[in-house]
């Protein structure tokens, strides 16, 4: 099993949470909300392109909605492979945390 | 909501390293963030922040696409620093050599930039023209920068292709009386129509652009003049005594950059001339020191302005005049290079010097790169074990080339940092020796940043290309068997480099010595008189009869710079 890096995992989850509404700006803002960092959040684009290259997410050009410059907006969605990956990460985390019910 | 568009350069860089979808997402994000930040912060801060964010986005993307992830990149940087540390002597010569070359190159490029950037800061610059005059009988024609004062008003009212036109009158030195009643000579005083501010993008700090030069006896001054005569006091509303007339200060201009032909330290209203009784009406046949500038309307033809102007000239003057007179429409960017027109203002440039400096700058940089190449390939045996191991564990040649290019880019960056320090130390002393003050001008610094980045990339690639190609070409078996002995490879390319490097160096050193001797000769040769106590003085027009009085009666005005 190939492991994802932490930022890739966060990104996959963010795209999953945003569902139909995941595009560049909204993904970045979701990551900012989730992690609490603002300044370095621009660095999401390198892992995002890696996710795309590895087949975990795919892009879709919106027909109706356009961005500020009048160009079609690019939306990101998970591929079946991406969803499977996310589930397996969740499983893994559950198993790993099961033995540590309370961190005290 | 305000619109913002990513600059063309940033868009180009972005499109190079990303696919179309990623490009679109990133562009939208950056533009959105710019507009969002603009509601809270100032424009300049947002702009700097946006550029910073741009780098945060593209640097990981670049490393990703070039090295396939951070891991290798980190390793390359680590190896490079270890090598720099291990061979301190070599590294010092290498870095210091590159730094010196870059500094010298930057110093020369600043001169070139200053020359070719003359008057390029005006927003309507590509549509600004000056009307010059070619006058005289066949065979004895002369060109003049000044034209008839009647032209500008006619351009404004009768020729629709002209967006706006204005006169700027050049003056001889004038005497200003300061608050201590001292007489001070000022040379950059111009009479100007209020429309000049629609033509030239001079920055108003205080006062109204449209009205400040309307009334007679009003003056718009630069910060420099305001500081000189009023100190820290508020300049607006003060009066200033120029040639025994009192002018009211109605506007304050930001100081002029050095790279402009028209440096109006003091602008006084053109209507003052009529109030003083000169030119009560303006006949078309009377002309002198008035420079006429106009802005061509967008999508209009310059030829039609010229035709209509000639028609106006025919209507207003006779054949005796029109036969001798010919108008020249001179684009703003040509004015700096025009050495023919009489009565012109500003420092003139020579394009040959610009080419000379440019080629010398490039040569110096090339020599520095050759030096780098020689030094890095001469100790290639030190790196052979590393290269061999890398190859054995699976590095291919392209990866090794990338590694060495990364290394040379790193060295180029370190050298550039040293070079900028050197540049800052040297530029003030060099240009005060050459008597040129342009480097302090902030308008060049935008070019400087661009040149610095460009130079790092060019030097990094140029200097690193040959070592990268050379060191990556060996077969791992040869390396492990140590069959590449020193000298077994005929490094003929390196010999060529050494010869070239020395040849260029000798040419440059000889050239410098000759120029130095010439300047020395100019400064120190015996002129036949003692120039220490000789004063060259222009007589002020206000009191020319003082010269004719007997020496004992003569009141010599006291001039101060």
Whether residue B103 contacts residue B97, with contact meaning beta carbons closer than 8 Å, is answered with no
- Name chain A contacts of B18, Cβ cutoff 8 Å: 45, 49
Q: Residue window 443-462, chain B: list those with CB within 8 Å of chain A.
A: none
Q: Please, what sign has the CA dihedral across residues B461, B462, B468, B469?
A: positive
CB contact (8 A) between residue B18 and residue A28: no
Question: Is the per-residue pLDDT at A20 higher than 90?
Answer: no
User: Out of B21, B32, B61, whose CB is closest to A68?
Assistant: B32
pLDDT at B323: 82
Distance of alpha carbon B464 from alpha carbon B467, whole angstroms:
6
Cβ–Cβ contact B27 with A under 8 A: yes
Cβ–Cβ contact A62 with B under 8 A: no
- Name chain A contacts of B31, Cβ cutoff 8 Å: 68-69
- Chain A: nearest CA to B452, how far in angstroms? 25
pLDDT at B13: 87
Q: Which residues pair with B269 in a beta bridge?
A: B192
pLDDT at B561: 45
Check: pTM over 0.80? Answer yes or no: no
Whether residue B10 contacts residue B54, with contact meaning beta carbons closer than 8 Å, is answered with yes
Cβ–Cβ contact B475 with A under 8 A: no
Cβ–Cβ contact B70 with A under 8 A: no
Q: Which residue of B has its CA nearest to A72?
A: B24
Distance of alpha carbon B173 from alpha carbon B183, whole angstroms:
12
Question: Is the per-residue pLDDT at A24 higher than 90?
Answer: no
Alpha-carbon Rg for chain B, nearest whole angstrom, is 31
- Name chain B contacts of A48, Cβ cutoff 8 Å: 22
**Max CA-CA distance within chain B?**
100
When scoring A14, A45, A48, A51 by the number of chain B Cβ atoms within 10 A, the one with the most, hence best to mutate, is: A45
pLDDT at B414: 94
Within 13 Å and on the Cβ side, how many CA atoms surround B162? Answer: 26
Q: Considering only residues B136 and A41, tell me which one the structure prediction assigns the higher pLDDT.
A: B136
Distance of alpha carbon A28 from alpha carbon A14, whole angstroms:
9
Whether residue B437 contacts residue B427, with contact meaning beta carbons closer than 8 Å, is answered with no
- Chain A: nearest CA to B17, how far in angstroms? 11
Place of tokens 């892009």: A59
When scoring A24, A53, A58, A73 by the number of chain B Cβ atoms within 10 A, the one with the most, hence best to mutate, is: A24
Q: Which residue of B has its CA nearest to A23?
A: B25
Distance of alpha carbon B316 from alpha carbon B37, whole angstroms:
58
- Chain B: nearest CA to A25, how far in angstroms? 5
pLDDT at B384: 84
pLDDT at A65: 62
Distance of alpha carbon B193 from alpha carbon B214, whole angstroms:
8
When scoring B7, B20, B24, B64 by the number of chain A Cβ atoms within 10 A, the one with the most, hence best to mutate, is: B24
Q: Which residue of B has its CA nearest to A66?
A: B28
Cβ–Cβ contact A70 with B under 8 A: no
Torsion of CA B509, B510, B513, B519, to 10 degrees: -120
Q: Mean of the per-residue pLDDT values for chain A?
A: 83
pLDDT at B361: 92
Cβ–Cβ contact B44 with A under 8 A: no
Residue B228's SS3 state is helix
Residues of chain B with pLDDT under 50: 1, 550-551, 553-557, 559-561
């Amino acid at each position: 099993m190939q492991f994802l890096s932490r930022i890739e995992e966060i990104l996959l989850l963010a795209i999953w949470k945003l569902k139909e509404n995941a595009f560049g700006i909204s993904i970045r803002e979701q990551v900012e909300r989730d992690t609490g960092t603002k300044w370095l959040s621009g660095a999401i684009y390198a892992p995002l392109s890696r996710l795309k290259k590895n087949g975990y997410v795919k892009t879709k050009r919106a027909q109706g909605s356009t961005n500020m410059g009048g160009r079609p907006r690019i939306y990101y969605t998970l591929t079946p492979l991406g969803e499977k990956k996310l589930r397996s990460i969740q499983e893994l985390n559950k198993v790993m945390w099961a033995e540590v019910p309370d961190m005290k | 909501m305000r619109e913002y568009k990513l600059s063309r350069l940033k868009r180009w860089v972005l499109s190079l390293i990303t696919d179309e979808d990623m490009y679109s997402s990133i562009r939208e994000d950056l533009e959105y963030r710019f507009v969002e930040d603009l509601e809270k912060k100032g424009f300049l801060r947002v702009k700097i922040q946006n550029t910073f964010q741009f780098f945060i986005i593209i640097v990981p993307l670049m490393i990703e696409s070039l090295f396939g992830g951070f891991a290798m990149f980190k390793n390359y940087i680590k190896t490079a620093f270890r090598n720099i540390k291990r061979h301190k002597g070599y590294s010092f010569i290498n870095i210091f050599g590159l730094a010196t070359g870059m500094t010298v190159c930057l110093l020369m490029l600043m001169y070139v930039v200053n020359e070719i950037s003359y008057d390029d800061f005006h927003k309507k610059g590509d549509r600004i023209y000056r009307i010059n005059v070619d006058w005289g009988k066949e065979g004895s024609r002369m060109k003049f920068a000044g034209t008839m004062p009647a032209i500008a008003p006619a351009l404004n009212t009768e020729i629709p292709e002209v967006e706006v036109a204005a006169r700027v009158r050049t003056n001889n030195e004038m005497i200003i009386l300061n608050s201590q009643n001292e007489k001070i000579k000022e040379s950059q005083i111009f009479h100007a129509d209020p429309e000049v501010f629609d033509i030239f993008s001079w920055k108003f700090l205080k006062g109204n652009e449209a009205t400040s030069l309307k009334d007679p006896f009003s003056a718009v001054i630069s910060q420099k003049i305001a500081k000189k005569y009023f100190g820290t006091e508020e300049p607006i509303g003060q009066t200033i005594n120029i040639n025994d007339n009192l002018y009211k200060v109605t506007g304050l201009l930001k100081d002029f950059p050095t790279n402009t032909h028209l440096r109006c330290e003091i602008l006084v209203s053109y209507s003052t001339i009529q109030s003083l009784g000169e030119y009560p009406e303006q006949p078309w046949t009377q002309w002198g020191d008035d420079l006429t500038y106009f802005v061509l309307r967008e999508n209009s033809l310059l030829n039609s302005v010229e035709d209509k102007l000639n028609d106006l000239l025919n209507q207003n003057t006779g054949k005796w005049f029109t036969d001798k007179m010919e108008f020249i429409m001179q684009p703003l960017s040509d004015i700096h290079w025009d050495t023919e027109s009489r009565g012109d203002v500003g420092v003139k440039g020579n394009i040959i010097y610009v080419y000379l400096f440019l080629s010398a700058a490039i040569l110096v940089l090339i020599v520095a790169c050759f030096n780098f190449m020689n030094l890095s390939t001469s100790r290639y045996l030190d790196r052979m074990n590393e290269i061999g191991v890398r190859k054995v564990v699976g590095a291919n040649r392209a990866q090794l080339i990338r590694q060495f290019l990364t290394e040379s880019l790193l060295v180029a960056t370190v050298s550039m940092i040293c070079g900028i320090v050197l540049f800052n130390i040297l530029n003030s002393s060099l240009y005060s020796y050459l008597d040129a003050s342009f480097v302090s001008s902030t308008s060049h610094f935008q070019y400087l940043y661009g040149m610095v980045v460009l130079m790092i990339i060019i030097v990094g690639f140029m200097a690193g290309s040959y070592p990268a190609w050379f060191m990556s070409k060996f077969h791992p078996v040869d390396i492990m068997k140590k069959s590449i002995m020193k000298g077994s490879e005929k490094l003929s390319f390196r010999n060529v480099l050494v010869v070239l490097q020395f040849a260029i160096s000798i040419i440059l050193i000889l050239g410098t010595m000759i120029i130095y001797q010439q300047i020395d000769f100019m400064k120190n040769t015996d002129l036949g008189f003692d120039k220490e106590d000789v004063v060259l003085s222009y007589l002020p027009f206000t009191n020319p009869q003082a010269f004719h009085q007997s020496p004992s009666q003569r009141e010599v005005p006291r001039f101060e710079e």
